[in-house]
Amino acid sequence: MKRVKGDEDACSSSSEGPTESCKKVRKLQPSKEKHQEEEEETDVDLCEFGFDWALLPQEILLNIFQFLPLLDRAYASQVCRGWNQAFHMPELWRCFEFELNQPASSYLKATHPDLIKQIIKRHSNHLQYVSFKVDSSTESAEAACDILSQLVNCSLKTLGLISTARPSFMELPKSHFISALTVVFVNSKSLSSLKIDDTPVDDPSLKVLVANNSDTLRMLKMSSCPHVSPAGILCVADQCHGLRELALNYHLLSDELLLALSSEKHVHLEHLRIDVVSENPGQHFHTIRKSSWDAMLRHSPKFNLVMYFFLYEDEFGPFFREEVPITHLYFGRSVSKDVLGRVGLHCPRLVELVVCANGLRPLDEELIRIAKRCTQLSAIGLGECEVSCSAFVEFVKMCGRRLSQLSIMEEVLIPDHKYNLDEIHWEVSKHLGRVWFPDMMPTW
Amino acid sequence: MTKNSIHWFRKGLRLHDNPALLEAVRDSDTVRCVYFLDPWFAGSSNLGVNRWRFLLQCLEDLDASLRKLNSRLFVIRGQPANIFPRLFKDWNTSQLTFECDSEPFGKERDAAIKKLATEAGVEVISRISHTLYDLDKIIELNGGHPPLTFKHFQTLVGSMPPPDAPVGALSRASMGRCVTPVSDNHRDKYGVPLLEELGFDTEGLAPAVWPGGESEALTRIERQLGPDLSTAWQVNFESTRKTASPLLPSPLGLSPYLRFGCLSCRLFYSKLAELYKKVKTNGSPPISLYDKLLWREFFYTAATNNPRFDKMDGNPICIRIPWDRNAEALAKWAEAKTGFPWIDAIMTQLRQEGWIHHLARHAVACFLTRGDLWISWEEGMKVFEELLLDADWSVNAGSWLCHSCSSFFQQFFHCYCPVGFGRKIDPEGDFVRHYLPVLKDMPDKYIYDPWNAPIEVQRAAKCVVGVDYPKPMVNHAEASRLNIERMRQMYQQLSRYRGLSLLAAVPTSPIEDLNAVASPSTGRKQSGLNSHHGRSRVNVNGEEQLGLSGVRPRPGPTCTQSCGMAHAEQAGSSNQQLCRTRCAHEFAVPHYPGHLARGGTGKRGRESEQEQEVGSDFPAPAFKVQRHHQHVSQGSGVNICVYILFSKVDVMYLG
């Protein structure tokens, strides 16, 4: 490619025979060094087979361009007219990620405003998979909304609004955000995936979404959207029967929602992610009836229930009192021994458990109970916890090789009469059937 | 012919175990020990007063020890490159000796001086003694790349012969006939400067908690590893859990002394081995015994050939995380005004005394970066560089890379809680009260979260939150929720893992990961978690693409195959893979959407493009390129390319 670039005439003038243009290349670049000479040789060989880069069929070019990052495509497009046309093929503009950052608030570069203009002007009707990565400044969120509101003639399949630092969409005037978002909802009519975590989306805008995209919507991620009410999400579940993935905060979760998702008309749910966050200390959390979970499980026996808890220890009262079909469980803050004991009793489908911290007492019995009862558990992570070495070995022995992820901070393991820290990695490796070490942080 | 030597001190500020210094006096007639100090640089450098004081104390001590051998230290004002040529001439120098510096900038500087010396006919001798091992050998043993996980590093080092034993200290005997010519005005010309002379205001400066110097270092190691074996054992090998005291500066602490080379790491190593053999008579000590020393070695090895080790941009081993720029929040952290007593106490200790415990480092580093504030580790590193006595370029940057989960394949799931972590280490909060007297009357129950204390309690403790002590600057629950999600997205993208598991998103090692990417059908992820749910995580049949992490349009068979190829191709760029976070994000976007449709629309699209005229309505940034290409192709497409070039050219690593 470099060689061809050296002589643009050779490329653009297709009247000239390929061999001739190659000779010209040779004449223009008299080679002195030996390796250069070799390169020239290759050129000639290729040309003798009637090869000319400019004559590559568009389909092949497209195929190649698809593997190149935007910047490389831009470079390549300057080689010749044919490549320049290939650069603009709609297939290459289906997917675009707008990066909106301000120098004052981000270390990353932003998508150039002129490029954005060009895309809106020339390629907006080709866009199908669009995401916006926005830094913590309100200006960036605003810029994203401005682009959104110009996407009138496109039909998006996926849309993602991603805050890469602080949730800046939340700082926008709600009406401004809503009107931009509904432009896409109204015009697209075939949205299948929507990721709008940490945004001021509200019930009426979800109604617009449902009214226009109910047949196609398969995924909706809207964790921490404080303006949505349980009724608003229920409307989505009632109408969008193809919904397979849903992510939301616990305050939107209701028995009615689970029943709606497990109605006969509804496809099987695949993933449900719930974030349980305490907004103020001592907050009271409602409970979900076991019968609702049972209905959900009957309807979608394979669905994954992912729950992230960010609660104080004393807020866990309503949780894990009855059986819950949780598969992936994450405790982002301290969780008591008592709650972990309940997890062992009531989470038979548990696949992954992550505990960032617990109180001061070792978790020996709790872990062993979890190993005994959660027969599908295959991943566990422990941060600021304590487990005696022998209990941990026992736990690993019970779970055996199904533990494909075992991430334990070294400080978690307390040496006891049976094992010290040097011995434990052998012992655990033996039961896992592979080499295992605890995770370490630098002691420096 | 007389042989005149110069020994150049940089780090390695000691007379014991200093092989290069011994070379300087061997068979020499004269030796002069020099240290370069640029007073102008001192005032404008970003090192804090504690670090300068420590350095000057080291130099004083060195001078005092040299005096006992009838020699002196020559502190020379200025830059080595400017002054060495004159010294070589004035002192009729035949040999220059110094300790090897493994850090990239040190190597560069030393190469330049070496060139100057050779030009002046001066022989240069350098010896490795700041690290236990010859780092190049470790890298060679690992196939030319520095190991990127500590465990791997331990294994490598464990397979190498043990480090050389320390050599004897410089003594009258080893000096032999070698003398140091000292002039009468030595003090004026070459004396160790005072802090005031460097432009520091020393009024109200508390006495040093960490006095600098080799003598102090040797006293400490004697005390730590001396006759009382039980203390020594406890300090070195027992876990520090649940005692408040390790947080406080210990008279046994050694890390600043290792940093400045007042203490030889090889001496420390050999003392540890000795102690181990005394207490446990059976067997040779396990390599993990030396963990503290090895972490230091690990970071030196990782940094030695990477001049951008302390940066995110352009650093091949650092993940690009979209950190927030927020000067205000950074200042609150650095000035101990976060409103979290645990964090503020640590930052106060750091500023006042220059040393904090390694668990305390984890706590404040996590809080600044991936835990709560989402501020770049580079900013934290700079603050540590100013304040932390033992902050070495490699070790400091390396630790921050670790704490912020930017490298070395750390588990990111675990964020230290700015309330719970401190409470766990020191339940009564004595540490907090020591450094934050304003909280001294706060009951134990609220010492780590005073904002939760009822207002009567706050008043009784004479510390009302929001008046006497700041309110917490973030809601930790909310911040950690956002941040863990962000880290998960970053790591998923990196490992190309698409399942639900948080733990599986972390690649276990760089090589393995890249191989997995290169050959998707044999990748390690395949047998993982999600197979329990009937979904393979690898891009084998296209079916798996429906994950919580994203519904991707179902591609036809050709697409699946080509996706695999695409991965292979990208993996070819090896380390640079890490920097490339630009490829399609985990959410719902096909990597190569063009495969999805062929035919009709494509052609129509192209035609409509040709109709469109993109003319001269472009403002002026990109002109050189634009002009250059205008004659190449008059087609409408040039401009858009030019703009892409301009918006992307400075984030380009691969070209």
Does residue B596 or residue A226 have the better pLDDT? Answer: A226
pLDDT, tens only, A176-188: 999 999 999 998 8
Band of residue B292 on the pLDDT scale cut at 50, 70, 90: confident
Q: Quick one: pLDDT band at residue B416, thresholds 50, 70, 90?
A: confident
Give the closest residue to B567 by CA, choosing from B531, B587, B540.
Answer: B540
Residue A49, pLDDT above cutoff 70: no
pLDDT band (50, 70, 90) for residue B283: low
Reported as a pLDDT band with limits 50, 70 and 90, residue A365 is: very high
Would the CB atoms of B637 and A157 count as touching at under 8 Å? no
Q: What is the mean pLDDT of residues B1-25?
A: 94
Residue B526 vs residue A244, higher pLDDT: A244
- Residue B529, classified by CB atoms within 10 Å of its CB into exposed (0-12), middle (13-18) or buried (19+), is buried
Does the pLDDT value for residue A278 go beyond 90? Answer: no
Is position B134 annotated in a ligand binding site? no
Say what the pLDDT of residue B232 is: 63
CA distance A328 to chain B (A): 7
Half-sphere exposure of A348 (CA within 13 A, CB side): 4
- Using the structure block, give the residue that is written with the tokens 């009410």: A229
Q: Is B17 annotated as a binding residue?
A: no
Using the predicted structure, report yes or no on whether residue B372 has a pLDDT greater than 90.
Answer: yes
pLDDT digits (tens, 9 = 90+) for B496-507: 777 778 788 776
A440 contacts on B by Cβ (under 8 Å): 150-151, 291
- φ, ψ (nearest 5 deg) of residue A130: -125, 135
* Band of pLDDT at residue B638, cut at 50, 70 and 90: very low
Is the per-residue pLDDT at B45 higher than 60? yes
Give the pLDDT mean for B509-526: 34
For residues B378 and B401, what is the distance between their CA atoms, to the nearest angstrom? Answer: 9
pLDDT the model gives residue B504:
80
Q: Is B392 annotated as a binding residue?
A: yes
Select the residue from B359, B640, B650 to test the A interface by mutation, using most A Cβ atoms within 10 A. B640
With CB atoms and an 8 Å threshold, state whether B551 touches A352. Answer: no
Q: What is the pLDDT of residue B230?
A: 63
Interatomic CA distance for residues B287 and B307, integer angstroms: 29
* pLDDT band at residue B228 using 50, 70 and 90 as cut-offs: low
What is the overall mean pLDDT for chain B? Answer: 77
CB contact under 8 A, B588 and A195: yes
Mean pLDDT to the nearest integer, B363-377: 95
pTM: 0.81
B643 or A346: which carries more pLDDT confidence? A346
Q: Band the pLDDT of B238: cuts 50, 70, 90.
A: low
More confident: A422 or B153: B153
For residue B203, the model assigns a pLDDT of: 84
pLDDT, residue B561, reads 31
B412: left (phi over 0), alpha (psi -120 to 50) or beta: alpha
What average pLDDT does range A204-213 have in this prediction?
94
Q: Which of A59, A88, A279 sits opposite B637 (nearest CB)?
A: A88
Per-residue model confidence (pLDDT) at position B44 = 63
Q: Residue A18: what pLDDT?
A: 39
Partner residue facing A354 (CB), from B502, B534, B593:
B502
Per-residue pLDDT band for A28 (boundaries 50, 70, 90) equals: very low
pLDDT mean over B405-420: 84
Among the partner-chain residues B399, B633, B652, the one whose CB lies closest to the CB of A442 is B399
Average confidence (pLDDT) over A102-128? 88
ipTM score of the complex? 0.83
CA distance A59 to A164: 36
The mean per-residue pLDDT over the stretch B192-217 comes to 89
Given a contact cutoff of 8 angstroms between Cβ atoms, the answer to whether B319 and B582 are in contact is no
pLDDT of res. B281: 66
Which of B629, B631, B632 is CA-nearest to residue B644? B629
Question: Which pLDDT belongs to residue A124?
Answer: 87
Partner-chain residue, chosen from B312, B411, B482, that has the shortest CB–CB distance to A381: B411
Burial B398-412 (b: 16+ CB within 10 A, else e): bbbbbbbbbbbbbbb
Contacts of A366 (CB under 8 A, 6+ apart): A337, A340, A341, A343, A344
Token reading at B76? 């020379």
Average pLDDT over residues B36-58: 83
Cβ separation A405–B501 shorter than 8 A: yes
Q: Which helix (H) or strand (E) covers residue B90, if one does?
A: helix B80-90
The reported pLDDT for the residue numbered B581 is 34
Predicted pLDDT of residue B425: 85
Of A253, A260, A242, A349, nearest to A303 (Cα)? A349
pLDDT tens digits along B112-157: 999 999 999 999 999 999 999 999 999 999 999 999 888 889 889 9
pLDDT score at B246: 72
What per-residue confidence (pLDDT) applies to B1? 76
Cβ–Cβ contact B301 with A under 8 A: no
Using a CB-CB cut-off of 8 Å, the residues of chain B touching A80 are: 632-633
Q: Is the pLDDT of residue A125 over 80?
A: yes
Nearest CA in chain B to A359: B424
Q: What is the DSSP string of A110-147?
A: PPPHHHHHHIIIIITTT--EEEEEE-S-HHHHHHHHHH
B574 pLDDT exceeds 50? no
- Name the band, by pLDDT with cuts 50, 70 and 90, for residue A411: confident
Backbone angles phi, psi at B30, to 5 degrees: -135, 155
Query: Residue B8 above 80 pLDDT?
Result: yes
B602 touches chain A (CB under 8 A): yes
Q: Are B264 and B11 in contact (CB under 8 A)?
A: no
Question: B610 contacts in A (CB within 8 Å)?
Answer: 85
pLDDT category at B573 given cuts 50, 70, 90 is very low
**SS3 at position A218:** coil
Lowest mean pLDDT among B150-154, B394-398, B608-612: B608-612
Cβ contact (<8 Å) for B582 and A69?
Answer: yes
Long-range Cβ contact pairs of A54-59 (< 8 A, separation 24 or more): A54/A4, A54/A11, A54/A12, A54/A14, A54/A80, A54/A82, A54/A83, A55/A14, A55/A18, A55/A82, A56/A82, A58/A82, A58/A85, A58/A86, A58/A89, A59/B598
Residues in chain A within 8 Å Cβ distance of B400: none
Tell me which chain A residues have a C-beta less than 8 angstroms from the C-beta of B390: 444
Q: How confident is the model at residue B578 (pLDDT cuts 50, 70, 90)?
A: very low
Quick check: B424 and A405 CB within 8 A?
no
Does position B523 have pLDDT exceeding 70, yes or no? no
- In terms of phi and psi (left: phi > 0; alpha: psi -120 to 50; beta: otherwise), the region of B62 is alpha
Residue B444 pLDDT > 70: yes
Partner-chain residue, chosen from B292, B585, B595, that has the shortest CB–CB distance to A444: B292
pLDDT value at residue A63 = 87
- ∠B487-A258-A376 over CA atoms, to 5°? 55
> How far is B536 from B525, CA to CA, in rounded Å?
8
What pLDDT, in 10s, does the model give residues A155-168? 899 999 999 988 99
Asked if the model's pLDDT at residue B194 lies above 80, the reply is yes
Query: For residue A236, is pLDDT > 70?
Result: yes
- Report how far Cα B244 is from the mean position of its chain's Cα atoms: 27
Model confidence pLDDT, tens digit, residues A254-276:
999 999 999 999 999 999 999 99
**Cβ–Cβ contact B205 with A under 8 A:** no
Whether B18 and B99 have beta carbons less than 8 Å apart is answered as yes
| Band of residue B414 on the pLDDT scale cut at 50, 70, 90 | confident
Q: Give the residue, A137 or A8, on which the prediction is more confident.
A: A137
Of the two residues B142 and B628, the one the predictor is more confident about is: B142
A69, with CB counted inside 10 A (0-12, 13-18, 19+), is: middle
- Judge whether residue B641 has pLDDT over 60: no
